[in-house]
Amino acid sequence: MSNINFALKRHFGYDTFRPQQREIVLNVLDGKDTFVLMPTGSGKSLCYQLPAVASDGVALVISPLIALMKDQVDSLIQNGIQAAYINSTLNKDEIRTIMTDAKSGMLDILYVAPERLSINDFQEFLQSLSISLIAIDEAHCISEWGHDFRPEYRNLRQFKSMFPGVPIIALTATATEKVRKDIIYQLSLDDPEIFISGFNRENLTLNVYPKKNAYGTITKLLDKYKGESAIIYCFSRKNTEELAYDLAEDGYCALAYHAGLDPVTRKKNQEAFVADRVDIIVATIAFGMGIDKPDVRLVIHHTLPKSLEGYYQEIGRAGRDGLPAECVMLYSYGDKTKHEYFFRDIKDNKERDNARIKLQQVIDYASLRSCRRKHILEYFGENYESENCGGCDICMNPSEMFDATEITQKILSACIRTGNRFGKNYLIDILKGKKTDQVLRNKHHDLSVFGIVSDYTRDQLKDIVSMLIPTGYMSIRKGEYPTLSVTRKAAEWLNDKNAKIELPKIKGTVIDAYREVSEEFGFDAGLFAKLRELRKNIANDKGVPPFIVFGDVSLREMARFMPQTRQEFSRISGVGSQKLKLFGDAFLSVISKYRQDNGVSPMSFPSMPSARTRIRKGSAGADSRYQKTKELLEQKKSLKDIAAAHGFTVGTILSHIERLIAVGEKLDLAYLMPNQKTFDAVSEALDVCGDETLGPVFKHLDEKYSYDTIKLVRLLRRF
């Protein structure tokens, strides 16, 4: 269907689809029910917006996010698409006008809040329309097994009987297999085609830092992303206001956001952030669900989130434009008690136990000493084969190992001598010789293990205990007061006089120095600043957020290729026919003046790949990122240069190459060969240790060669 490619460029300004978008669009246009699971920032909205403009009638979109409705409608209108929304922010006259427009066929897309569907008159209005499709966004809200269940979503079950023959597309960013099945059941989807994109957001860096001097860590991170948009999530309204106040006092442009603020202030603060009038929002988790701001570069969790599903959704608000972003969790085991206090208010035992399990899963994630990306992807049921993701604090800064034999023996002995029936803090009290009332009452101050540890701090002991759980030496009994016990494996280890154990050294906070992104991505920083200023002025005049005019991806391309004509400007990503008409001359004028004033020359536009050189549809290379990697390999660019062009790590580029080879691409990689001495040494280690996992190879080589080098040699050997 060439017309959908034409509509894609005309209305949205894109030359190519992202992975699976085309297949989803065609499935909806064929009138079939569709289930879509895509991570935030992968282009879910286009999966129903494009079929809407390519079909007769009006597309009905159900969304619980009022602010998001407005942003999406504003964006659609700027793209030349007739759209409107009906929710509680409108008065009766405004709603009546929109209903009239919908009945007369003047709308392509109508957004509706789910609670409207409980009103009989509104149901009658919907049945009077010629509906082309029904899109249900945030579909996980219909499932009681999801992390954000909303009773009003149960009203959506009647759609099948109300609109027989109308295709329904259900979309969500976070859903386990159990939740997926429940969504399909609750909506009575008719043999739906199921599309599940990978959860992996390669542009997000996942870091967990110890919560020590949290304020200092936060300010260092904000300095690293000075002038960029950041969200900081706090546990309580009080924490939110205190941190926002402290940051503002220290000169940071920060505002608070939480449900306790009066509606006018809350709305004003959110709009200031979306409009780039303020850089930092300090918020409870109430913030973010209703915005579609694509250029958030930093998300910080000041306190543990309640669940991994919620955490992944919250960090999904970073880097929606596909450009690099950093996600940082500040972890202290003590934060667990904050959640436990509120769990006591949950009356339903099953619900309360489920909440505790979810929180423990977050603690397990924060306590990891292996790849965080692999862990969280496998939690959502996605296999991640790479040994080193190159995008989390564990993989980017591998820990040194230390001999933990003696301290492990002491911890296990304390657990055994106290009857395997106490928690982490109590065991540490025993080891550190702290005479608490409970210790004295139990007469455990008389034990031989009382006070035997002086060379480790309490925090270090907490970390070591946390590491012993995934090794299988200790098990934890879940509940309000989780207790630790020594496993059979540990008992056997204690009886072996020659047994040793190594654990990773505890790392402090690691914050990379600020990088000049303009150099990394090859665009002119001065011109980019001028274009941002123009974008902001246009957005203010139109009363819309700046990203609705153009996203940062588009501005970076303009600052890189510096188009001189309207035809060249139309080749910029995100420039469709409507935006070319509305904004083309203004942006071309700024670009032309900047070039004349500064005597700079643009980079050449990349040539459009021919059908012969494109990676075939349906393969791993359907993603434009893999196409770009292939093209740069053909130009004999170094791995470092290819990584810089993407904004990824070398490890990620090597994963690209592996997937390209897996789908049958013929690549000339001989120029990437390291020197013969390196190749032979690594190759010999691969022969000895095997090449399925790289950790043993890394250790066998005494850590003299990086994971990237080992991965490259493995790839060249297989190739």
119-128, 445-454, 644-653: the lowest-pLDDT one: 644-653
Query: Which domain range does residue 151 map to?
Result: 2-196
> Does some domain include residue 509?
no
Give residue 517's pLDDT.
44
Contacts of 294 (CB under 8 A, 6+ apart): 41, 320, 321, 547, 551, 552
Question: Is pLDDT of 100 > 50?
Answer: yes
Contact 482, 339 (CB under 8 A): no
Phi then psi for residue 431, to 5 deg, are -65, -35
- Containing 47, the helix (H) or strand (E) segment is helix 46-53
Percentage above 70 pLDDT, the chain = 89
245 and 283 in a single domain? The answer is yes
Mean pLDDT, rounded, for 367-380: 85
Mean pLDDT, rounded, for 35-42: 82
64 and 82 in a single domain? The answer is yes
Whole-angstrom distance, CA of residue 84 vs CA of residue 76: 9
Contact 152, 100 (CB under 8 A): no
143 and 284 in a single domain? The answer is no
Helix, strand or coil, per DSSP, at residue 230? strand
Question: Is pLDDT of 141 > 50?
Answer: yes
> Does some domain include residue 695?
yes
Give residue 450's pLDDT.
94
Whole-angstrom distance, CA of residue 67 vs CA of residue 89: 10
Give residue 659's pLDDT.
66
CB atoms within 10 A of CB 120: 7
Question: Is pLDDT of 414 > 90?
Answer: yes
Alpha helices in 397-545 (DSSP H): 405-417, 424-432, 437-441, 458-468, 488-495, 517-521, 525-542
586 and 670 in a single domain? The answer is no
pLDDT band of 526, cuts 50, 70, 90: confident
Give residue 613's pLDDT.
33
Give residue 695's pLDDT.
60
> Does some domain include residue 512?
no
Contacts of 89 (CB under 8 A, 6+ apart): 66, 70
- Which one-letter amino acid corresponds to residue 78? Q
658 and 695 in a single domain? The answer is yes
Number of domains making up the chain: 5
Whole-angstrom distance, CA of residue 278 vs CA of residue 276: 5
The CATH number of whichever domain residue 588 belongs to comes to 1.10.150.80
> Does some domain include residue 603?
no
The CATH number of whichever domain residue 417 belongs to comes to 1.10.10.10
152: exposed, middle or buried (C-beta count within 10 Å: 0-12, 13-18, 19+)?
A: middle
Give residue 470's pLDDT.
75
383 and 408 in a single domain? The answer is no
- The last residue of a domain, from among 369, 396, 423: 396
184 and 291 in a single domain? The answer is no
The model's pLDDT over 376-389, given as tens digits with 9 standing for 90+, comes to 888 877 778 777 88
Strand residue runs (E) in 499-621: 502-504
Question: Is pLDDT of 246 > 50?
Answer: yes
Question: Is pLDDT of 480 > 70?
Answer: no
The mean of the pLDDT values for the chain is 84
CB atoms within 10 A of CB 702: 8
Mean pLDDT, rounded, for 130-149: 82
Question: Is pLDDT of 508 > 60?
Answer: no
Partnered with residue 282 across adjacent β-strands are 232, 256
Mean pLDDT, rounded, for 530-551: 91
Strand residue runs (E) in 239-315: 254-257, 280-283, 296-301
Alpha helices in 54-106 (DSSP H): 66-78, 92-103
Contacts of 214 (CB under 8 A, 6+ apart): 302, 330
Question: Is pLDDT of 49 > 80?
Answer: yes
388 and 243 in a single domain? The answer is yes
> Does some domain include residue 15?
yes
162 and 217 in a single domain? The answer is no
Give residue 692's pLDDT.
52
380 and 496 in a single domain? The answer is no
> Does some domain include residue 254?
yes
CA distances from 176 to 35, 181, 206, 377, 379 (A): 13, 9, 20, 11, 8
Rounded-to-10 torsion of CA 369, 372, 374, 376: 120
The model's pLDDT over 604-640, given as tens digits with 9 standing for 90+, comes to 665 443 332 333 333 333 346 677 888 888 888 888 8
> Does some domain include residue 275?
yes
The CATH number of whichever domain residue 659 belongs to comes to 1.10.10.1390
> Does some domain include residue 131?
yes
Whole-angstrom distance, CA of residue 18 vs CA of residue 482: 45
Contact 38, 20 (CB under 8 A): yes
134 and 228 in a single domain? The answer is no
pLDDT band of 286, cuts 50, 70, 90: low
Mean pLDDT, rounded, for 495-515: 69
The CATH number of whichever domain residue 140 belongs to comes to 3.40.50.300
pLDDT band of 693, cuts 50, 70, 90: low
**What is the strand order of the sheet 34-37 is part of?**
83-86, 109-112, 58-62, 131-136, 168-172, 34-37, 193-196
Whole-angstrom distance, CA of residue 645 vs CA of residue 634: 14
513-527, 637-651, 676-690: the lowest-pLDDT one: 513-527
Give residue 518's pLDDT.
43
Q: Which residue has the tokens 């959704």?
A: 313
- The last residue of a domain, from among 396, 416, 434: 396
Give residue 102's pLDDT.
92
552 and 458 in a single domain? The answer is no
- The radius of gyration computed from the CA coordinates of the chain, to the nearest angstrom, equals 28
Mean pLDDT, rounded, for 147-161: 79
Angle formed by the axes of helices 372-379 and 349-366, to 10°? 150
Query: In this structure, are strands 280-283 and 168-172 parallel, antiparallel, or unpaired?
Result: unpaired
- The last residue of a domain, from among 366, 396, 426: 396
